[in-house]
Amino acid sequence: MAQFSMTPNGMLTQEGETYVVIIAQEDQDNLYKKSLTYLNGIFNAPNHAISGVENKSITVNGFSENAIESKLKRNFAIKYDLRYSITFEFKDQKVKCEINSWTAGPIVPKGNLKSFGTHYGVYNENLDIQDQRAKESIEEYFNWFLSEFELSVLKSDDW
């Protein structure tokens, strides 16, 4: 699967896309059901995190405690909770995965400490990285999440 990188323009693949596509040997209905089964199994309260249109799309509005690490302030590691939205769209033999949005404590994609007050950007107003650890941590989380999702979709249903 293509990997996401955090850029000043959001989470993008190496090709500059805002989404990745998983190719699978399943029809749309089976891909939807396998995805829904997997996603329901990883959330404590799936009815609050998962919504969708049957056999067409699933949107996950997730929360992960202490998922993102930052080292901006005084070089101490600080962990923040991550809130995010990811949409999965289904067609025969394909699942499109797109990270719609995310927030992690005071961390925002772009901004300056002075201009955002209690918020700061991974990238500053000149588009230079000002929190490398947060950037890496966000990339690692989403790439891990989508990799695990892909493994579950491609896994055989045979016992």
DSSP 63-89: EEEEEEEE--STT--EEEEEEEEEEEE
Q: Is residue 132 part of a domain?
A: no
**φ and ψ at residue 17, rounded to 5 degrees:** -85, 155
Q: Is residue 126 part of a domain?
A: no
Between residues 128 and 148, which one has the greater pLDDT? 148
Between residues 52 and 76, which one has the greater pLDDT? 52
**φ and ψ at residue 47, rounded to 5 degrees:** -65, -20
Q: How far apart are CA 22 and CA 149, in angstroms?
A: 10
pLDDT band at 156 (very low <50, low <70, confident <90, very high): confident
**CATH number of domain containing 40:** 3.30.530.80
Identify the domain containing residue 31 by its residue range: 4-104+137-154
Q: Is residue 128 part of a domain?
A: no
Q: How many domains does the chain have?
A: 1
**What's the pLDDT score for residue 118?**
46
Map residue 55 onto helix, strand or coil: coil
pLDDT band at 7 (very low <50, low <70, confident <90, very high): confident
**What's the pLDDT score for residue 108?**
62
Q: How far apart are CA 106 and CA 73, in angstroms?
A: 12
